[in-house]
Amino acid sequence: MGIGRTARGLTSAAHPGPVLAVTVLAALLALSGGLGAADIALVTGAVLSGQLTVGWSNDLVDASRDASVGRSDKPIASGDVTASTVRLCCAVALVATVLLSLACGWYAGLVHLVLVASAWAYNLGLKSTWWSWAPYAVSFGGLPVFIYLAGDPATLPPLWLAVAAALLGVGAHLVNVLPDLADDEATGVRGLPHRLGAARTQGAAVVVLVAASLVVAGSATIPWTVLGPVLLLVGVLVAITLRGTGRTPFRAAIGIALVDVVMLVWS
């Protein structure tokens, strides 16, 4: 197996989109929260390594199920990378996660390790239950707590910030699963979105993401000259999500999530 193919397989198995999105969100929140350069680097590194363990463990847990249905888009099932290689990289990333998390401070480190454990709980079984949304709520909602504690062990974020982040996490779960409902069902995954069905999941995603927008809008110190146009944009995206066809609703829902992220960082 060539080095290039293995590298591509490892990258794909890590789920690079979510890894990058969550890592960038953490870095931006740390920057907007006034953390110093060293703390920002530690927070970003801890989140990056933690997200890598989440992505790789997900594909390791699903490897046999993916292979049984011929998932050519899954690198372990397709043979682009071996399970042992992914397992080794996951173990190294897990050690790095523990070290980098604790380097942020004991309180902050323990909080972050709980957030990573929550995401692993999703991989290890919760994703096939009604509670599939809960790890996303915990892991996203706790991210500002981790970042604030990393900056000052005696400081916690405002409650609204954690609530908005938790809502964003649940919305991300619903939006992320939406295009893959049929494939997931074929491999035995039946989380909340699968039980709701595509139409109700789409509607639920809109409700949760708009709720996140309203929480931020009602609590953050964003000037109305900026907030007004932003909320108008959210309204337009909601209309597109509810009335669009094909993959347009999915893309519009992603747009709402991105607007929420921008407002969280701005606040």
Q: With a cut of 50, list the residues of the chain below it in pLDDT.
A: none
DSSP 8-state symbol, 72: T
Does residue 162 share a domain with residue 93? no
| Domain extent at residue 261 | 158-267
Does residue 124 share a domain with residue 168? no
Q: What pLDDT is attached to residue 131?
A: 96
How do residues 84-96 score in pLDDT, each as one tens digit?
999 999 999 999 9
Does residue 147 share a domain with residue 21? yes
d(CA 192, CA 197): 9
Q: What pLDDT is attached to residue 87?
A: 96
Does residue 175 share a domain with residue 128? no
Contact 172, 139 (CB under 8 A): no
Final residue before a domain boundary, out of 104, 130, 155: 155
Final residue before a domain boundary, out of 97, 132, 155: 155
Structure-block tokens of residue 102: 């604790």
Does residue 265 share a domain with residue 247? yes
Does residue 145 share a domain with residue 164? no
Q: What pLDDT is attached to residue 1?
A: 57
Angle value at C-alpha 139, between 134 and 143, nearest 5 degrees: 145
Does residue 169 share a domain with residue 267? yes
d(CA 7, CA 226): 43
Q: What is the CATH number of the domain that holds 67?
A: 1.10.357.140
Final residue before a domain boundary, out of 155, 173, 201: 155
The 10 Å Cβ neighbour count of residue 17 is 10
Q: What pLDDT is attached to residue 70?
A: 66
Does residue 128 share a domain with residue 84? yes
Q: What pLDDT is attached to residue 175?
A: 83
Domains: count for the chain: 2
Residue with tokens 């595509």: 198
Contact 53, 94 (CB under 8 A): yes
Does residue 167 share a domain with residue 211? yes
d(CA 121, CA 54): 10
How do residues 229-244 score in pLDDT, each as one tens digit?
989 999 999 888 887 7
Does residue 198 share a domain with residue 108? no
